[in-house]
Amino acid sequence: MTQTTIYIGLNDAVTKTQIFETEKYIKILKDVCRAYHTSFSFDVIEGGYIHDSGEYTKENTLQLTLIDVDKKRVEEIAKDLCAFFHQESVLITESIVRSYFVRESL
């Protein structure tokens, strides 16, 4: 199976600051995933990056994890989130993972 992770920064592409509360971005992320009928999980993480100018920026980031989702759908989700969050770009990583479910009767 493939695990895909999409990293979406919350700082606006123009102002370089976070415009809305993190909870608003989380709601949008959930709404997008539900609209695509995609199972997902996410984390709120803190990160940083260096601009081409050499300037360092610290920001909150949503880390969206998708398991075994079609690559085309992943890219559609990523493009929507990039636009809705007013980002220059979002980062997508892919990994092959061994996954399985464990069940226990009560």
Distance CA 15, CA 8 (A): 16
Distance in angstroms (rounded) separating the CA atoms of residues 56 and 68 = 34
In 3-state terms the chain splits into helix, strand, coil percentages (rounded to 5) of: 25, 35, 40
- pLDDT tens for each residue of 10-23: 999 999 899 999 99
Asked if residues 18 and 10 have their Cβ atoms less than 8 Å apart, the reply is yes
In a domain, 104, yes or no: no
- More confident: 16 or 61: 61
**What is the tens place of the pLDDT at every residue in 22-57?**
999 999 999 999 999 999 999 999 988 887 889 888
Provide the pLDDT for residue 51: 79
| pTM flag (> 0.75) | yes
**C-alpha span between 104 and 59 (Å, rounded):** 41
The pLDDT assigned to 95 comes to 97
Q: Give Cβ neighbours of residue 12 (< 8 Å, ≥ 6 apart).
A: 18, 19, 86
49 in any annotated domain? yes
Domain contains 19:
yes
Q: What is the pLDDT of residues 63-104, one digit of tens each?
A: 999 999 999 999 999 999 999 999 999 999 999 999 888 999
Query: Is residue 106, in this structure, part of any structural domain at all?
Result: no
Q: What CATH number does residue 85 fall under?
A: 3.30.70.120
Tokens for 82?
């990039």
